[in-house]
Amino acid sequence: MIELLLVDDESYVTESIAQTIQWSEMGISKVYQASSAAEALQVLEEQSIDIVVTDIRMPEMDGLQLIELVAERWENTRCILLTGDTDFQYAKKAIQLQAFDYILKPVNDDEFVSIISNAVELLQDEWEQAERYQQLLYDRKSDFTVLKANLMHDLLLGRTLSTKIIRDKCNQYEIPLRVDESAMMMLIPLPKTFASMDHHSISLMEYAIGNIAEEVFSEDYHIWHSKSPHDCLIIMATLKTSLEHTSEINRNVREHHREQLTKLVQILQRNVSNYLKGDISIVLTEWFEFPVGIAAAYRAGLSAIFKTETQGSDRLLFIEDLTQGRESVIKAIEMLYKPPTLIHLLESKQWESAQDKIDSVFRDMERVSYMREHLYEVFLSITNAFLYIAHKHGVFMHQIDHSGFDLFIDQRIIHSLDTLKSWSTEMMDKLKRELYTNDEYTNSYIIKQVHEIVDNHLGQDTSVKSIADKVFLHPVYLSKIYKTETGESLSDYMIRKRMERALYLLKNSNMKIYEITSELGYQNPQYFSKMFKKYYGVTPHEYREH
């Protein structure tokens, strides 16, 4: 709803207008009066005024000076001038100050209503456009971040996508890499100094490192960064002076770019140390053709991280400096990444097929030579699938197995192929039993998580989609569960909690309306007032006054 301020040193003028006009029919909820420009400025400071109607001729500060100040400090407020025939020459000045319109004295009610209605309509159109634009920007940025991360995960894990799909998605998500370009990958395991941080803080650190990398490499490289499925940051880079194929990168070119990359990576490490207070190690893969070589480069990078993890932090490692593992064992492990993946099988509750997939990998590995890091790769892949499915259903691993995922136990699990195989089969059976027998508990746990998220983030831009992301569920599925379990839609619950909080603050605090609006995460005080009245039948101002 709209709030309006009448300003005239002749109080009978404002009194007459205030009492004779049917304000509510124009969508105006509150009309304030001021007898001077100074008093008007005080009202503007304290209230959310949308329209100012002011006389031109007033002592001390006239109406033109007033609307000039309003334009500077409250740029979204519309100003309308009251003017007599003798001071009509001020109209040009009013136009320069971008006054919305002027009304001649003596005031004609029909003309007054027409001009005010036009101003109200314009304001409402602007609010709707601004709200749509802000929502589009937020949705676009949020969706692109998730979509780019999902695409990165699919490519890292070897999901087969057509060239056209990858090209279209790169264009749609504004990813600067191009199909068939020569690319290389940097893998950055998070330093131990970040280990004590909560999930949100770690995500911010990952985002910050990615942004620093973009700044450092932006002159010569296109960059795409995201977190990997195995808890490290991935930065993919292609040359801005594009090379058609990896084969075109001859020895001299490789040496040149190796020297250049070494300098840039050292700058990245130094900046992260200075600004984020953490020392990062970086593994650089060999050049590969994007996107066909991503999965192999990623696996080689993970293997290199595991192989050199005891060498301390702040390292720079080129994979080409390491002895590469045998191709046969890579082919055996590739089965875990080929569709349908283990995650897809577990999601669709194809337990036997999932077990067959794991058994097939172990059978192939029994016939080839492998290193301990190969066992670790298999362990990571299987663990990732188990954790994803468990968390998606609101279950933690310590509920399935008392040891959970203990680092010391993990080391014993990958001591031999037989140990890893036995552990995988046992955990699969436990996961299956837990998910089959705890559907009711799972839903109640999800509802509890949702309530905690909403209660702790009332003042933020909390949406069904953002909540669904936090509990690892699709927004439609989460809404269905919530409605079934509580009988109330999730959107209605969030509105109710905000309105209850608003009611409490209005009654028990001295916070101004616009402060409460911001506290509850609303960007527009008028929209908040409208929602409050819709919910309680009165505006926030009316509730506080009574």
For residue range 110-139, what is the model confidence (pLDDT) as tens digits? 889 999 999 999 888 888 887 777 666 655
> What is d(CA 333, CA 362) in angstroms, rounded to the nearest whole number?
9
| Residues carrying CATH 1.10.10.60, the chain | 441-545
- Which CATH entry fits the domain spanning 441-545: 3.30.429.10, 3.20.20.140, 1.10.10.60, 3.40.50.620? 1.10.10.60
> What is d(CA 345, CA 428) in angstroms, rounded to the nearest whole number?
12
Residue 232: phi, psi to the nearest 5? -145, 160
Residue ranges of the chain whose pLDDT lies below 70: 85-98, 134-143, 195, 242-254, 307-314, 322-328, 348, 369, 402-411, 436-442, 461
Q: Is the pTM of this model over 0.75?
A: no
> What is d(CA 52, CA 472) in angstroms, rounded to the nearest whole number?
49
> What is d(CA 269, CA 117) in angstroms, rounded to the nearest whole number?
60
| Residues carrying CATH 3.30.70.270, the chain | 157-324
Q: Which CATH architecture has domain 2-129?
A: 3-Layer(aba) Sandwich (3.40)
Per-residue pLDDT tens over the stretch 221-249: 999 999 888 888 999 999 987 554 444 45
78-83 and 51-55 as β-strands: parallel, antiparallel, unpaired?
Answer: parallel
- Helix (H/G/I), strand (E/B), else coil: 68: helix
**Spacing of C-alpha 142 from chain mean position:** 4
User: Which tokens belong to 101?
Assistant: 């319109």
Predicted local confidence at residue 542, as pLDDT = 86
DSSP state of 308: T
> What is d(CA 321, CA 330) in angstroms, rounded to the nearest whole number?
19
Predicted local confidence at residue 378, as pLDDT = 92
Taking each helix axis as running N to C, give the angle between helix 439-456 and helix 490-508, from 0 to 180 degrees, rounded to the nearest 10: 40
Does the 157-324 domain belong in CATH 3.40.50.920?
no
Predicted local confidence at residue 358, as pLDDT = 93
Partnered with residue 183 across adjacent β-strands are 238, 288
The beta-strand segments (E) located in 137-261 are: 182-189, 221-227, 232-239
Partnered with residue 233 across adjacent β-strands are 188, 227
Predicted local confidence at residue 277, as pLDDT = 84
- Helix (H/G/I), strand (E/B), else coil: 306: helix
DSSP state of 97: T
Predicted local confidence at residue 395, as pLDDT = 79
CA distances from 461 to 130, 205, 497 (A): 16, 21, 14
Show Cβ contacts of residue 7 under 8 Å, excluding neighbours closer than 6 positions.
14, 33, 34, 35, 36, 37, 39, 40, 52, 53, 54, 55, 58, 63, 66
Predicted local confidence at residue 311, as pLDDT = 42
3-state SS track over 102-144:
EEECCCCHHHHHHHHHHHHHHHHHHHHHHHHHHHHHHHHHHHH
Predicted local confidence at residue 310, as pLDDT = 37
* Contact (CB, 8 A) for 317 and 282: yes
Predicted local confidence at residue 405, as pLDDT = 59
